[in-house]
Structure 1
Amino acid sequence: MLPITNYDPPFALTRASHVSLAVTDLEASRDFYRDVVGLVVTEQTDDAVYLRGLEESAHHSLVLERADEAKALRVGLRVRADADIVAAEKYFASIGIDHQRVEKPHQGPTLQFTDPVGTHLELTSSMDLVERRMQNFDQFVSGAPQRIDHFQVVTYDVQSATGFWTGLGMRMSEYTAEDGTDELWGTWMEVKGNTHDLVFTNGHGPRLHHFAYTVPDASALLHAADVAGALGFGEEIDRGPGRHGISNALFLYLRDPDQHRVELFTTHYQFIDLEEVPIRWDVSNPRRAQLWGMPASRRWFFEASEFPGEVLREPLLHANPATLEEYLGVH
């Protein structure tokens, strides 16, 4: 049975908001996200860099933190108001989810927690405001990313992860399942009215597979690929360009100097009206992954960024995805 969305959740989530990464060379990572991806540097300190998309008025959507080891620190979601942070504290206490209030630069009330499948998250109700750059066309470089859109997490238990988040008000827009069944292999869930804010896919987890920014159009994707090649990051194009079946987006994936994965993509269709039902895909259907374009490589399927202190667990469902290497007959 598919998880059912709770339309009266204990607190109000509004969107995917930000991600924090531990990086081993802060300056190299800053340069990658500024020059190769095209993000705006909002602020830099001795130990952190704060970046955002061109149309974002929130202070940051990506935080790079200097560290000895590369990790995915937290993925962040926004809630509607300060009262929702209080409501989240009460709810997590009632169901035994460990959580803590923290002070984060440029963020309002912030609550950190780990979901039942080990994803490290934080909620915040506000951020400092900065000037949008969406009409500063002279500053549109590389992919000209506009705003953060979603996160994809690899988990050993897609069913449990999906049940937890639909219980908090997320809606499934699309899902993949074992052929002829509703045994979940991947779920695309949203709260902001397009196809996804948070995705869970089957695999060794918990790990952050990627975070994604929208770009203005297909030419921005191609320009980002050209810029990556010109700046010596051509081999770090992890997948694409191509078009996903799920969400219908054109995409390009890149790996940063620590091998964290970022996606640039042309945005999704609307998924707002409550009578909408999720689109189902058989896991064997290759069109779910790409309507056209080459299959993903082994590293796209099996490599991802670990969360600190989490032990990777074997997935409950075992997959054997068709990889680019198999397609090309490479061993």
Structure 2
Amino acid sequence: MKPEIAKLGYVALVSSDLEKSLVFFKEVIGLEETEVIDGVHYLRAWGDFQHHTLSIEQGERGYVRHIGWRTKSKEDVHLFKEVLENKGVHVENVPAWETPGIGEAIRFKVPSGHTFEFYYDVKKPKAQEHRRSVLKNQTYKAWAKGISPRRIDHVNLHTSEDWQVTYTFFQEVLGFKLREYLKKDESSQILAGWMSVTPLVHDVALVSRQKDEIPTNARLHHLSYWVDDSQDVLRAADICREHDLPFCGPGKHSISQALYLYVSDPGSGCTVEIFTGGYLIFEPDWEPVAWNESERAFGNTYWGDSISKKELVKHTIEA
């Protein structure tokens, strides 16, 4: 049996202006703070259960330290370590609870240049009484502040590394399934792929770039938080406008069929996508949906603000 990833866990973010980032993520996005340890702030959405889905700390520049993924079992962490080392990948062992709320873990670089962390054991701290929902199956009171998303949804990564090596690794070694993809009109070269380990259309989107298009080989275009419905996306636009934050959207993607709004953290430069709608995939024999490069604009935007290639590259941070 191959080891398996269960879900996207968290993003470890460094900000060049922590104060601005905390206002953005806590007051505008509306994440709840679990705790602060050694200057690192641990945040989660009102429907997230594990200790955090985002950590933020002060640094000289904005970038992503790593992206955490929870495996389906504790044994899978060890099995992934074996598989990766057999592939010649350097794997770092992270002692249990060195990262608050996260048990024994491994960290490694994927061929795209991004650093991933795999773990299984987590702590699921209850909210303080005055912040706790009356629902036993929910962590916090919903819509307490800001946009108030329910949960973390996906990450969108850009890379200038070899596309064949990268996509093969994500699928054959890590177990991601390709759901939709954008390819060159006259060849099989993949320009972007939407991949998942869950029924979501994508837990990760991977976009290929030329080396002269991005300042470093591994970038984070955005992390995404899920809201319940389209009205929440419209409300998010109002909230961003009230805080005088530029944003893209609301609109609807053709690829994934989801509604979106993009807004960037003024502290770290990290872009957050507020995301809802879309479709779920339950078919065991799903055939990946192919889009040609000439359909790129339509694939990005079914209706709403157009997301140009230039803008997609512009709003990325180092990962």
Q: Normalised by the size of structure 2, how large is the TM-score? A: 0.88
Q: Is the 8 A contact 2:50 2:122 kept in 1?
A: yes
Letter of the structure 2 residue corresponding to residue 145 of structure 1: P
Shift of 1:95: 1.0
Which of 259, 263, 266 lines up with 1:254 in the alignment? 263
Which of 302, 307, 319 lines up with 1:291 in the alignment? 302
Q: In structure 2, the residue corresponding to 1:30 is in which secondary structure?
A: helix
- Provide the C-alpha distance between the structure 2 equivalents of 1:211 and 1:94, rounded to a whole number of angstroms: 31
Which of 201, 208, 215 lines up with 2:207 in the alignment? 201
Which of 39, 52, 77 lines up with 1:47 in the alignment? 39
- Provide the C-alpha distance between the structure 1 equivalents of 2:140 and 2:218, rounded to a whole number of angstroms: 39
The equivalent residue for 1:127 is 122
Q: Is the 8 A contact 1:142 1:223 kept in 2?
A: no
The alignment status of 1:66 with 2:58, answered yes or no, reads yes
The equivalent residue for 1:182 is 188
Mapping 1:38-117, distance limit 5 Å: 38-102=30-94, 103-117=98-112
- Provide the C-alpha distance between the structure 2 equivalents of 1:270 and 1:23, rounded to a whole number of angstroms: 33
Shift of 1:299: 3.3
User: Residues 85 and 119 (structure 1 numbering): CA distance in 2 closer, same or farther, change over 3 Å?
Assistant: same
Q: Which segments of 5 or more consecutive residues in structure 2 lack a partner in the other structure?
A: 128-132
User: Residues 56 and 255 (structure 1 numbering): CA distance in 2 closer, same or farther, change over 3 Å?
Assistant: same
Shift of 1:126: 2.3
Letter of the structure 1 residue corresponding to residue 294 of structure 2: S
Mapping 1:126-205, distance limit 5 Å: 126-131=121-126, 133=133, 134=138, 137=141, 139-156=143-160, 157-167=162-172, 168-203=174-209, 204=214, 205=217
Q: In structure 1, the residue corresponding to 2:126 is in which secondary structure?
A: coil
Tell which deviates more after alignment, 124-133 or 265-274.
124-133
Tell which deviates more after alignment, 141-150 or 189-198.
141-150
User: Residues 142 and 98 (structure 1 numbering): CA distance in 2 closer, same or farther, change over 3 Å?
Assistant: same
Letter of the structure 2 residue corresponding to residue 163 of structure 1: T
List per-residue Cα deviations over 1:260-279 (Å, max 9, x = no partner).
11111104311122111111
List per-residue Cα deviations over 1:168-208 (Å, max 9, x = no partner).
21111100011143221101111011111111112133111
- Provide the C-alpha distance between the structure 2 equivalents of 1:135 and 1:52, rounded to a whole number of angstroms: 10
Q: In structure 1, the residue corresponding to 2:24 is in which secondary structure?
A: helix
The alignment status of 1:302 with 2:311, answered yes or no, reads no
- Provide the C-alpha distance between the structure 2 equivalents of 1:141 and 1:247, rounded to a whole number of angstroms: 28
Q: Is the 8 A contact 1:144 1:216 kept in 2?
A: no
Letter of the structure 2 residue corresponding to residue 207 of structure 1: R
Q: Is the 8 A contact 1:104 1:110 kept in 2?
A: no
Q: In structure 2, the residue corresponding to 1:273 is in which secondary structure?
A: coil
Mapping 1:316-331, distance limit 5 Å: none
Which of 263, 273, 276 lines up with 2:283 in the alignment? 273
User: Residues 188 and 88 (structure 1 numbering): CA distance in 2 closer, same or farther, change over 3 Å?
Assistant: same
List per-residue Cα deviations over 1:118-167 (Å, max 9, x = no partner).
11111111221023754855644332211111111101233322110111
Q: In structure 1, the residue corresponding to 2:178 is in which secondary structure?
A: strand
User: Residues 160 and 302 (structure 1 numbering): CA distance in 2 closer, same or farther, change over 3 Å?
Assistant: farther
- Provide the C-alpha distance between the structure 2 equivalents of 1:280 and 1:138, rounded to a whole number of angstroms: 37
The alignment status of 1:243 with 2:252, answered yes or no, reads yes
List per-residue Cα deviations over 1:216-239 (Å, max 9, x = no partner).
111111211211221232x2x1x2
- Provide the C-alpha distance between the structure 2 equivalents of 1:78 and 1:267, rounded to a whole number of angstroms: 24
Q: In structure 1, the residue corresponding to 2:125 is in which secondary structure?
A: coil
- Provide the C-alpha distance between the structure 2 equivalents of 1:114 and 1:247, rounded to a whole number of angstroms: 27
Paired residues, what number?
A: 296
Shift of 1:46: 4.3
CA RMSD of aligned residues (A): 1.7
